[in-house]
Every structure is written in structure tokens, then in C-alpha cells.
Structure 1
Amino acid sequence: MGHSDNQLAYWDGIGATKTFTHPLDRGWLTDLDPTARVLDYGCGYGRLMGELSGYGFTDLTGVDLSPALVERGRRLRPGLRFAVLEEPPHLPHPAASFEVVLLFAVLTCIPDAAAQRALVAELHRVLVPGGLLYVSDLLLQDDERNRARYADHAERFGAPYGVFTTSDGAVCRHHELAHLRTLLAGFELVHERPLDVGTMNGHRAQAVQLLARRR
């Protein structure tokens, strides 16, 4: 979750103290061999890797932009493999290095659509043909508080509707479902499900999870 366009100071500061909550649907991964190579992009403090390790997965790699979040992960889960992203979204791995990539609440931290496309293209590169990209992210909300945040940010900065600034200073983006599907146009959509999640600042929000297969 620590990846963002230019917000390293946030994720190395208050962002490194946050609790992340998007749930992993174990049923979507039941057909995978436990030795499958799994990358958690924007791994934060390794919550999902810890969960997968508990399910018996043995080849887990987590990367994040924030050294503070990575250090937190190493303290909490010293047996897992973490790395700091030096030049996001570039990954220091050859093509077809992973069978699965997790991308949980990362796109919300990347307001710029071109940067989102670049990230998805890089994840496509490092996935094997037939590999799975598991995305969990936040949809546009229809409550008054969020509508006001979207409109204010769009008016002040000319940003796409859905971009906003949190009360503690992070610039985030909520998405139209069609936008997320378009980002994954180079993949075959396998599963999609709506869900309600807790945000890092303690609110409830509508989200979506998509499981897509690399063509």
C-alpha cells in the first residue's frame, strides 16, 4: 500500500503507522501450487504475505516504495522477503518471474492514470503467461463527504473526479469500475466481486476485487 506518485514523505511518516484491511479471498487461489512465486506489490508491512505464508505458500516477495513500511514488515515478519522499490514502477526482476501478483489498495495511492497504466504494464511483464493479477481497490463513493472531496480537488487542481486529499495529507483516488476494467484490458478477467472495506483512516468504503489472467 505504500506506493504513490510522489508521496514518499507521507508513507514514510504517518502512512507507515496505518493498518490495512482489504481481505484476501483464499478461494480465488486454491488451485495454485504452494510453491508458486508470488509478488505483493505495495506490500506495506507484509500483512498479506503473512496470511499467504500461513496458508502454506513458500515463495513470497514483497516490495514497497516506503523504507519505513518495509522495515516495519521485517520486524513483524523476519522470515519473509521484503525489498524497497528504488524506481517504481520498475521491478528488478526478469520477465515472467511470478505466477501471481497482488495489488491491494495500491492504485488508490496513484492518482495519475498514466502512472497507473505504467504500473499495470510492468506487472504484466513480470507475470508468466497465464499468471494471475489480483487487484483490490476502492470505487467512487456516493456519500456527501466523498462527493464534496472529489469536487473540491477537481476544482482546485483540475484532477480527475475521484481524486481527493485525506485529512492527514495523502492524495488518493477512488475509481469508476469501468476505469479499473480498462486498466486490465491486457488480461482476461476471471473473477470480480464487490465488497465493503475499512479504509486506513477508519471509514467504511465500497471496493471491488478483480482476478485477471495474463494473456
Structure 2
Amino acid sequence: MKDPGRQVTYWDTVGAEKTFTHPVDLGWLTTVDPEARILDYGCGYGRVMAELSQRGFSDVSGVDLSSALIARGRRLHPDLRLAVLESPPDLPYPSASFEVVLLFAVLTCVPDDDAQRALLAELVRVLVPGGLLYISDMLLQDDERNRDRYAAYARRFGTPYGVFATGDGAVVRHHDTAELRALLTAFDLMEERQTSVVTMNDHPARAVQLLARKR
């Protein structure tokens, strides 16, 4: 992951107070055994984990690179199993440890192509054959404000179109859906839908969710 220190600093300070909003479509998980091993990668303060736990999923773990967000999650949800990820994207679990992995608004925080591919490779490793990967992430927005900052950042830094810096210091990425599908080379895409979210800086935005099964 490029410049992980800068991003960790952001998530341990300004980012630690953000509110995350990507919704969970529980209908996509109706075939999942309530005792299935589930990992929430980039779990933040455990919002999605808490929802899954309340719906009867009993073996949910979460990791995040931000110690501040994990501390917040432990205060809010002392019953959840939360851990700081020390060397992202490497996970401290054996291969084939989980039946389901959640990746909610994480790829937006990993703007580099190679880093995204490395993350997906690690998730493939820890998923069992036939395991599910549930991605929720940010689409390219079509308003003038976003188009201007995508273009300006790409010209200045040569990054993929859709990468930009927020006003409070995070470097993030919005995606064309084809870019997200292209990461799923080890998976069969099962479901896809677009949804409305509110960004961590309180702007309405469009997101996409994908459910894929590891081959």
C-alpha cells in the first residue's frame, strides 16, 4: 500500500470521528449459515459487524489499520471481536479461514492499482473455495465538483482517474464499476446493484455493491 503512514495518520485522527453509511443488503446473505466465519476487512468502528451480530451471525471478526477506530469500536461494541491490522493487507489468519469477507468502503481508501490487487489476493487466500466476497464502494460521480477534482489530481500526480484528496487530508478513489469487476479474477460475480450513500464528509453520492463467489 503506497504511503500507508499518511493514511494511518488520517484514520487515527480526523478519520476516527467519521460516520460510515454503506448499507448491508442482508438479502444477499440469506444462504449464509449463521455460524459461518465472517471477516469484516476495514471494519472501522464495527458498524456493519454489529448489524450482522444483531441478525444472528455468531462468528464475526473485524480488522482495521486504525487503532483509533478499533478503540472506538471497542467502546461502542465491547462484545465484538475487533483487531488492529498491523501490516495491511496481510492478515494474521491461515488460508481458507473464512466463508464470507466484507469489504465496505475500503477500496476507496486504497487508491493505488497494485495495492488494490494485493489486497484482493490476500482476501482470496483467506476465503474458502466457494466463499463469498461482498464489496461496497464508491462510484465515479458525475457532478462538476467531482469531475474537476478527478481531472486536477490525475494531471498533477498521474494517478488513475477518480483519485483525489479530500479537503481534510484523505487520498481516496472513486471507481468505474468495470474497475471493480476487473479485480474479481478469482471470483464469479453473483449480484450487483447501485445504491445511494452519504460520504464521510456528508455529501450524497452513488455507490455500487457486488457479491462474488470464490471459484
Same fold (TM over 0.5): yes
TM-score under structure 1 length normalisation: 0.97
Q: Percent identity?
A: 70
The answer to whether the 8 Å contact 1:109/1:172 transfers is: yes
CA distances 1:58-101 after superposition (whole Å, capped 9, x unpaired)? 10100000000000000100011011001100001000000000
Give the partner amino acid of 1:100.
V
Aligned counterparts of 2:191 and 2:4: Cα–Cα separation in 1: 28
Post-superposition offset of 1:167: 1.0
1:36 is aligned to 36
Aligned counterparts of 1:103 and 1:13: Cα–Cα separation in 2: 22
The answer to whether the 8 Å contact 1:65/1:88 transfers is: yes
SS of residue matched to 2:68: helix
Question: What is the 5 A alignment of 1:164-203?
Answer: 164-203=164-203
1:113 is aligned to 113
Q: How many residues align?
A: 212
Q: After TM superposition, which residue ranges in structure 1, 4 or more long, deviate above 4 angstroms?
A: none
Residue segments in structure 1 that go unaligned for 5+ positions in a row: none
Question: What is the 5 A alignment of 1:18-33?
Answer: 18-33=18-33
Residue segments in structure 2 that go unaligned for 5+ positions in a row: none
CA distances 1:87-130 after superposition (whole Å, capped 9, x unpaired)? 10000100000000000000000000100000001000000000
The answer to whether the 8 Å contact 1:5/1:111 transfers is: no
TM-score under structure 2 length normalisation: 0.97
Aligned counterparts of 1:71 and 1:91: Cα–Cα separation in 2: 19
Give the partner amino acid of 1:66.
S
Give the partner amino acid of 1:63.
V
1:61 is aligned to 61
CA distances 1:6-39 after superposition (whole Å, capped 9, x unpaired)? 4111000010000000000000001111100000
SS of residue matched to 1:142: coil
- RMSD (Å) for aligned C-alpha atoms: 0.9
2:206 is aligned to 206
